[in-house]
C-alpha cells in the first residue's frame, strides 16, 4: 500500500507535535514536511524527530501550496491549530480541494459546516477525536433522542478542566450539554465552569503534575430538585495520545471515501468514522 501523505497543521503546538511524531511512527503514512501555523509564530521551521517541517503562515501559504500538492498527491490535512484559525483554515483546504480532519475546537461551527457541505472533497469534523469519548457522546445522544424530558426539573453543574493554553470552552462539554438539554435540563453553555488555573487543577482536582499541560477532565453533576437523586458522569483524559488513534481512523475513513468515490455527503463526524469501523 502506498503511504498516505499527511500534513499536520498547528506546529509547533503540542497536540500537532504529538500527531506529527505519531505519523512518523506509522507505516501507513508519510509526514508532509510543511505545516500551517499562525502569523504570530516567529520560527520558520521546527524539528519533529529527525524531520524538519517548514511552517507556513497565512501570508505565505498561497505561494507554496500548489508545489506541496504536486509533490504530495493525495495529501490529507489534520488540523490542530487554534480556534481563531478554524474557519480560515477550512476555507483554505476547501479552496485547494484538500480533504481534512478538523480536530481543532471553537470557531464558527455553523460556518465551518457550511464550508464543508459546499466543498468538492470530504472532511471529518468533531469536537473530540478520542474514540471512547465520541462513543459516550453517541450513547448520550441516543438517550436524549429516545427519552426526551427524562430529567425534567433536574439541575446540572458542569466543570471542564484543560491545560492553560486552551482558549475556548470544551466542544465536548457543549455537545453533552445539548444532550442534557434534550433530556429536559435547563442549562446554558455559558454556565459551564471552565478551569484553566494549574494551581486549582493540581490542588483541588488532583491532576498529576505531568498532565497539567495536557489533560481534559470533565464532570457533569445532575441533581433532583429536592436533592433525593444525584447522578454524576466523569471522564478524565490525561495526555494527548488518546486522540491519535481516533484522528488516524478519521484519516483512513477519508481515504476510503475518496478511493471509492463515495462522498456525495461531504461532512462527516467521528460518529460516522466509528460506525464505519464496526
Strands ordered across the beta sheet of 100-102: 29-31, 4-9, 76-79, 100-102, 123-125, 267-268
Confidence of residue 127 (pLDDT cuts 50, 70, 90): confident
Q: Which fold does the domain 4-125+241-276 belong to in CATH? A: Rossmann fold (3.40.50)
pLDDT tens digits for range 192-225: 999 999 999 999 999 999 999 999 999 999 999 9
C-alpha cell at 14: 503540542
Ranges of CATH 3.40.50.720 domains, the chain = 4-125+241-276
The number of CA neighbours under 13 Å toward the Cβ of 20 is 29
CA atoms within 13 A on the CB side of 31: 25
CA distance linking residue 198 with residue 250, whole number of Å: 32
- Per CATH, the number for 131-238 is 3.30.360.10
- The answer to whether 273 and 123 are in contact (CB under 8 A) is no
The model's pTM: 0.87
Task: Tell me which of 166, 174, 218, 257 is the catalytic residue.
Answer: 166
* Rounded mean pLDDT, 17-31: 97
**Paired strand residues for 6:** 31, 76
Instruction: Please identify which of the residues 162, 174, 215, 218 carries the catalytic annotation.
Output: 162
- The model's confidence at residue 278, banded by pLDDT at 50, 70 and 90, is low
Is residue 237 a contact partner of residue 133, using CB atoms and an 8 Å limit? yes
Preceding omega of 153 cis (within 30 degrees of 0):
no
With a cut of 80, say whether residue 1 has pLDDT above it.
no
User: In sequence order, what are the residues at sequence separation of 6 or more whose Cβ sits closer than 8 angstroms to the Cβ of residue 267?
Assistant: 113, 116, 117, 122, 123, 125
Residue 261 has pLDDT above 80, yes or no: yes
pLDDT 10s digits, 135-162: 999 999 999 999 999 999 999 999 999 9
- HEC letters along 67-83: HHHHHCCCCEEEECCCH
- Tell me whether residue 166 is one of the annotated catalytic residues: yes
Distances (CA, A) of 19 to 23, 41, 52: 6, 19, 15
* Domain limits, CATH 3.30.360.10, in the chain: 131-238
Q: Residue 19: which pLDDT band, with cuts at 50, 70 and 90?
A: very high
235 assigned to active site: no
Please count the residues of the chain: 278
Average pLDDT over residues 234-246: 93
pLDDT band at 55 (very low <50, low <70, confident <90, very high): very high
Amino acid at each position: 500500500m502506498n503511504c498516505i501523505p499527511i500534513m499536520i497543521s498547528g506546529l509547533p503546538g503540542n497536540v500537532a507535535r504529538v500527531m506529527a511524531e505519531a505519523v512518523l511512527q506509522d507505516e501507513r503514512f508519510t509526514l508532509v514536511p510543511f505545516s500551517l501555523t499562525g502569523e504570530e509564530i516567529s520560527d520558520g521551521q521546527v524539528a519533529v524527530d529527525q524531520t524538519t517541517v517548514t511552517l507556513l503562515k497565512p501570508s505565505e501559504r498561497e505561494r507554496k501550496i500548489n508545489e506541496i500538492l504536486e509533490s504530495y498527491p493525495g495529501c490529507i490535512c489534520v488540523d490542530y491549530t487554534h480556534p481563531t484559525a478554524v474557519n480560515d483554515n477550512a476555507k483554505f483546504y476547501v479552496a485547494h480541494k484538500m480533504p481534512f480532519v478538523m480536530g481543532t475546537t471553537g470557531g464558527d461551527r455553523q460556518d465551518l459546516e457550511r464550508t464543508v457541505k459546499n466543498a468538492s472533497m470530504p472532511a471529518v469534523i468533531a469536537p473530540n477525536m478520542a474514540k471512547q469519548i465520541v462513543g459516550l457522546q453517541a450513547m448520550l445522544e441516543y438517550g436524549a433522542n429516545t427519552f426526551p424530558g427524562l430529567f425534567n426539573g433536574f439541575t446540572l453543574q458542569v466543570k471542564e478542566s484543560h491545560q492553560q493554553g486552551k482558549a475556548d470552552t470544551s466542544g465536548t462539554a457543549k455537545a453533552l450539554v445539548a444532550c442534557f438539554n434534550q433530556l429536559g435540563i435547563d442549562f446554558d453553555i455559558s454556565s459551564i465552569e471552565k478551569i484553566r488555573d494549574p494551581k486549582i487543577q493540581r490542588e483541588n482536582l488532583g491532576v498529576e503534575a505531568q498532565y497539567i499541560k495536557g489533560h481534559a477532565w470533565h464532570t457533569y453533576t445532575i441533581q433532583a430538585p429536592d436533592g433525593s437523586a444525584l447522578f454524576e458522569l466523569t471522564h478524565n483524559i490525561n495526555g494527548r495520545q488518546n486522540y491519535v488513534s481516533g484522528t488516524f481512523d478519521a484519516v483512513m475513513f477519508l481515504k476510503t471515501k475518496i478511493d471509492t468515490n463515495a462522498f456525495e455527503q461531504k461532512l462527516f463526524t467521528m460518529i460516522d468514522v466509528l460506525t464505519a469501523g464496526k
